[in-house]
């Protein structure tokens, strides 16, 4: 069976005190035994989160990472720095990084390479904008974005990738892809993985859905056969909502 994963992307939320409070609340809920729970706080809260979650199975993920092992990159954080504090997974390619910070395919290709070489796992995000869907270009856009993640990977390294399909029009908008739309795209994505590798590999790579997942819609979305969990933004800032989502399989 593929890993089931529910990951909370906190984005630029939760300072030191808020992190302590939210993690205390999270720890008061029983962890589902068959779901991997992850949280992605800001850089400044990573070490604190790793320490506070030591007694749990919840893992801590970085939201971003620099594009070199070290060097003159003011404001950046290296993979080694992440690993040194117990962070073994990084989100790459989030639409907010693509849109606001202009991270393009070229840049993301470098980032994935560095992450993999540094033995970090990658949650690779991608997804079409509203205009792409309206023009019915969404499959083509997704296929092109996936190339960045898949093209140079070996059979061994593809196992370090978790994919997160996040249609931009559903992020933070309250609008969600229907379960059928999510399944249609996830199955398309799995076929693409199969074409780069083979069906056995495709069967193992977790594909998460992200975009306004809430306790009220998680069950329906997670019930689809190619949806292996979610990357949760807004709802991950509330412990009860997040744990309800984690229990929605």
Q: Which is nearer to ligand 13P, 79 or 211 (CB)?
A: 211
**Contact between 234 and ligand 13P per CB under 6 A:** yes
Helix (H, G, I), strand (E, B) or coil at 201: helix
Residues 165-194 contacting ligand 13P, CB under 6 A: 166, 171-172
Which residue is at the shortest CB distance from ligand 13P? 233
Active site residue 138: no
Minimum distance from residue 134 beta carbon to ligand 13P (Å): 19
**Contact between 103 and ligand 13P per CB under 6 A:** no
Residues that bind ligand 13P (rule: CB under 6 A) add up to a total of 14
- In angstroms, the Cα distances linking 241 to 109, 142, 149, 221, 236 are 34, 29, 31, 15, 7
Q: Which is nearer to ligand 13P, 8 or 66 (CB)?
A: 8
Distance separating alpha carbons of residues 92 and 63, to the nearest angstrom: 7
> Which of these segments, 15-23, 137-145, 206-214, 240-248, binds ligand 13P (CB under 6 A)?
206-214
- In angstroms, the Cα distances linking 168 to 9, 138, 148, 192, 213 are 15, 11, 18, 20, 13
Active site residue 166: yes
Which of the residues 103, 166, 186, 224 is marked catalytic?
166
Distance separating alpha carbons of residues 147 and 36, to the nearest angstrom: 26
Residue 60: both structure tokens together: 């801590």
Minimum distance from residue 197 beta carbon to ligand 13P (Å): 25
Which of 52, 208, 213, 227 contacts ligand 13P by CB under 6 A? 213
Residue 121: both structure tokens together: 């796992």
Going 92 to 106 to 98 to 85, the CA torsion angle's sign is: positive
**Contact between 212 and ligand 13P per CB under 6 A:** yes
By DSSP bridging, strand 207-210 and strand 161-165 are parallel
Neighbour-count burial of 127, counting CB atoms closer than 10 A to its CB (0-12 exposed, 13-18 middle, 19+ buried): buried
Distance separating alpha carbons of residues 227 and 184, to the nearest angstrom: 10
**Contact between 210 and ligand 13P per CB under 6 A:** yes
Minimum distance from residue 199 beta carbon to ligand 13P (Å): 28
Largest CA distance in the chain: 49
Q: Which is nearer to ligand 13P, 79 or 169 (CB)?
A: 169
Q: Which is nearer to ligand 13P, 54 or 231 (CB)?
A: 231
Q: Catalytic residue positions? A: 94, 166
Q: Could you list the residues that contact ligand 13P (CB under 6 A)?
A: 9, 94, 166, 171-172, 210-213, 231-235
């Amino acid at each position: 069976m593929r890993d089931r994963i529910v990951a909370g992307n906190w984005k630029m939320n939760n300072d030191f005190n808020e992190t302590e409070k939210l993690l205390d609340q999270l720890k008061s809920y029983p962890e589902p035994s068959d779901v991997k729970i992850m949280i992605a706080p800001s850089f400044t809260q990573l070490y604190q989160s790793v320490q506070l979650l030591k007694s749990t199975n919840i893992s801590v993920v970085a939201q971003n990472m620099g594009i070199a092992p070290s060097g003159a990159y003011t404001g950046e954080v290296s993979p080694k720095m992440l690993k040194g504090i117990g962070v073994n997974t990084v989100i790459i390619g989030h639409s907010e990084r693509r849109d606001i910070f202009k991270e393009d395919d070229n840049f993301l290709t470098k980032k994935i390479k560095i992450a993999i070489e540094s033995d970090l796992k990658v949650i690779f995000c991608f997804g079409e904008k509203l205009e792409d869907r309206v023009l019915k270009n969404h499959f083509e856009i997704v296929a092109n974005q996936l190339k960045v993640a898949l093209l140079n990977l070996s059979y061994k390294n593809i196992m370090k990738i978790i994919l997160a399909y996040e249609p931009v029009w559903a992020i933070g908008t309250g609008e969600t892809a229907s379960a059928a739309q999510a399944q249609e795209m996830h199955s398309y994505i799995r076929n693409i993985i199969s074409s780069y590798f083979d069906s056995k590999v495709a069967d193992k790579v977790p594909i998460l859905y992200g975009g306004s997942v809430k306790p009220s819609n998680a069950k329906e979305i997670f019930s689809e056969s190619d949806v292996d969990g979610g990357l949760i933004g807004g709802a991950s800032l509330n412990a009860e909502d997040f744990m309800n989502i984690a229990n929605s399989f």
